[in-house]
Amino acid sequence: MRLNRPGPCIALLPAILLAASPPVPPGRGGTRLSITYPPASLKTPFTRVRVAGSCEPSCRVTIAGRPARVYPTGAFVGLVPLEPGETTIEVAAERAGAKDRLALAVVCEDPLVTSPASPPVAEQRMLMPAADTVLQPGDELRVQCKGSPGMRASWSLGKVVREAAMEEAPPLATDDGNEIRGIYRGAYRVQEGDRVSGGRVRFALRDALGRTARVRSSGRVTLLPRARLRRGVVGPDGAPASAEPGGAQEWRLDAGTQINLCGESGGNLRVLLASGMRCWVPERSVTLSKGEGGWPPSAVGAPAVERTPRGATVRIPASGAPPARVSPGKAPGELAVEIFGAAAFPRRAEAAGAGPVETARIPATETDILVAVVQLRNPAGWGYALRRTEEGIALDVKAPPGQRPGGVRVVIDPGHGGAHPGAVSPTGLREKDVNLQVARAAAAFLRRRGVRAVLTRDDDRTLSLPARVERARREEADIFVSVHHDSCPGHCDPLARRGAATYYGAPQSRGLATALLDRLGTVMAPPRGARQAGFAVVVPADYLAVLVECGYLSHPEEEERILGEGYARRAGRAIAEGVLGFAETAG
C-alpha cells in the first residue's frame, strides 16, 4: 500500500510559532511549486528558519538564492538565517522553460541574543521572579536578570536585601546555534522576621566606568515573618505535582488528598509534603479548607495483601487523606509507597504476599515520611496503580498476562487526528494519516497472532490525550503503544535529525521501549534510542506505555521511505513483533 499525499498544509511544530498563519499559496507556473513550511507571515524568536516544500522532481530549486537538492519525491528543504525584523525568502523552481517563484515573509521578532556591552543594558525579559510569589522562613528566593555581559550585578528587595552581589551564569546555548551571555543569578534564604509585602526585586548592572542600567522584576514578592500553613484539599480531577511553579508534572495527587500549603507563585500553590520536602500544584486544583495550621499527622497501620482477579492489592490503613505516591524501589522488583505527613511508626510490620506480590513491609521510622516496600515476584512488573480508599491507601499490582485469563491486551494509539494533523512533510503528507495506517497494520498483525488489539481511533477524529489514556484503562490494557512520526522544530536543520525513537514514562516500560526500538530500527535506521519522557500518554504506570516515533517526516529521505510501497505494513509489523517478543520474554 502506498500513502497518498494531500495538498499543502501547515506543520504544527513548533505550535507556539504558528498562531493562525495560513499556508503559502502554491505557484502557478507549471512546476507545481508549493511550500509546507514556514507558513505565511511567520513570526519567530529564532535567528534561522527551515524551509520545506515540493515541486516536480525534474525542477531546479533555489532557496534564498542557494541551490537546493530536489529528491525523487519532489521534496526540497533548506535552512535560512534571519536578521532581526522582516526577512523575505524567495524560493524559485525552474524546468524546461517553466518557472515559479514564491516569496515568504518571516519576521524574526525579539530574538534572544547577547545584549551590547556598551552602554550597559538591563532587559525586561528573563527576569525572575516573573510571577507574584509568597515565601516564608526557610524558603529560598531565586532571582535572575539578563543584560550586558561582564557587568557588576546586584539586586535589592525592600529593606531585607540591599545590593546583594549576583553571579554571571555560564553562556546559554540556544537551539538555533547561538550562545547567550549576560545572564545573572542570585538567591536568598528567607529568615524569621523578614517582612516584605508585594515588593519588586530591583536589579542594577554597572560597568567599569560606573554607568548603571536598572530594571525591576515583573513579579511581586511577599515575605512572611513567620511560617504559616494553610489546609487544602485536592479537587475531583486530581492535581499535577511539579518541582517548580508551573513545571512539568512529576507525579499526581489524587482527588481528596489533604495537603498543607506553605506558599504561592503565579497561580500555583506550594505544598509542604513533609519536613524538607515540597512540591507545587496549580491553585485551580485545590480547595482551601477551614482550620488553624496544617492537617494532623496520619496514623498508618500494618499492610495487608490480598489476591485479585488481575493480580493483587496491598492495603495500608491510614487516617485522614495524606499525600502518597508510588515509584520503583532501590532493589530490582521493589515498589516504594511513600506516605507523607505520617505519624511515627515505631514497630516494623510485614505481610505475606499473594499473586504477583511476594511481601509488603513497613520499617520502623521516626520521620514524617513513611515508606512501605512492596517486593514483586517478577522484577519487570506489568503495571501498578495507587488509589485512595475509605480506610487509607491501596496499591493494585498487575500479574503477568501469562498468569491470568485472556492473555496480553494491547491498545494501539494512532497519534493526532481530526483537527490535529501533527507534523507535515515537505510534500504535504500529514502525520495523522501515516500514524493511522501504521497503527491499523500493527493491530491487524497482532490479531492474526491471536492477541486482543484495540485502536483508540480507527478514523480521522479529534481525540484528547486524557481520552486516549481512559480508553486504555477501559480496555484493561497491559500494553499501550502510541504511534507517531517526528518533525524537527522550525529553527533546526531538517537534514540533521532522522531515525526512530521510543519514549517511556515509568521505568517498568523501559524493556518494552527497547524491544520496540530494536524492531523499528530495521525499518527506519539509525535508531535514536529509548528515552524516558513525561508525555501524557506514557506517564500512567498501571500498564506498560511507550510512544514510538517511527521516523522524521521533515527529512526528505525518510519521507521517501514513508511514501514507499509497503511502508505502513513493515512499520506496523515491526511494532507488533516488538510487542510480541517482549511479552514472550517478560510474561
User: Do residues 246 and 338 share a domain?
Assistant: no
Task: Say how far apart CA 399 and CA 210 lie, in whole Å.
Answer: 70
User: Which of 169, 198, 223 marks a domain boundary?
Assistant: 223
Does residue 65 fall inside a structural domain? yes
Task: Say how far apart CA 508 and CA 435 lie, in whole Å.
Answer: 25
Write out pLDDT tens, residues 210-223.
999 999 999 999 99
Does residue 8 fall inside a structural domain? no
User: Do residues 468 and 320 share a domain?
Assistant: no
User: Which of 376, 481, 404 lies closest to 438 in space, CA to CA?
Assistant: 481
User: Which of 170, 192, 223 marks a domain boundary?
Assistant: 223
User: Which of 343, 370, 401 marks a domain boundary?
Assistant: 401
Task: Say how far apart CA 162 and CA 115 lie, in whole Å.
Answer: 25
User: Do residues 313 and 213 share a domain?
Assistant: no
Does residue 127 fall inside a structural domain? no
pLDDT the model gives residue 206: 98
188 contacts 140 by C-beta, under 8 angstroms? yes
CATH number for the domain harbouring residue 167: 2.60.40.650
User: Do residues 413 and 538 share a domain?
Assistant: yes
User: Which of 348, 400, 344 lies closest to 367 in space, CA to CA?
Assistant: 344
Helices (H) and strands (E) in the chain, counts: 5, 40
The cell numbers describing 100, all together, are: 515559479
| 38 contact partners, CB below 8 Å, separation of at least 6 | 44, 49, 50, 51, 104, 106, 490
The cell numbers describing 104, all together, are: 515568504
User: Which of 436, 509, 525 lies closest to 477 in space, CA to CA?
Assistant: 509
User: Do residues 37 and 65 share a domain?
Assistant: yes
Enumerate residue ranges in the chain where pLDDT < 70.
1-29, 403-406, 587
pLDDT the model gives residue 161: 98
| DSSP states along 489-516 | -TTS-TTS--S-EEEESSGGGHHHHHHH
Does residue 126 fall inside a structural domain? no
pLDDT the model gives residue 250: 87
392 contacts 316 by C-beta, under 8 angstroms? yes
User: Do residues 426 and 326 share a domain?
Assistant: no
CATH number for the domain harbouring residue 539: 3.40.630.40
Q: Annotate 143-155 with b (16+ C-beta within 10 A) or e (fewer).
A: bbbbbbbebbbbb
Boundaries of domain holding 425? 409-586
User: Do residues 317 and 396 share a domain?
Assistant: yes
User: Do residues 285 and 315 share a domain?
Assistant: no
User: Do residues 550 and 476 share a domain?
Assistant: yes
User: Which of 107, 122, 135, 89 lies closest to 46 in space, CA to CA?
Assistant: 107
| 326 contact partners, CB below 8 Å, separation of at least 6 | 335, 336, 337, 338, 384, 386, 395, 541
pLDDT the model gives residue 405: 61
Model-level pTM? Answer: 0.86
Provide the residue type at 203 as one letter.
F
pLDDT the model gives residue 461: 96
User: Do residues 476 and 565 share a domain?
Assistant: yes
Domain count, the chain: 5
Task: Round to the nearest angstrom and report the end-to-end CA distance of the chain.
Answer: 34
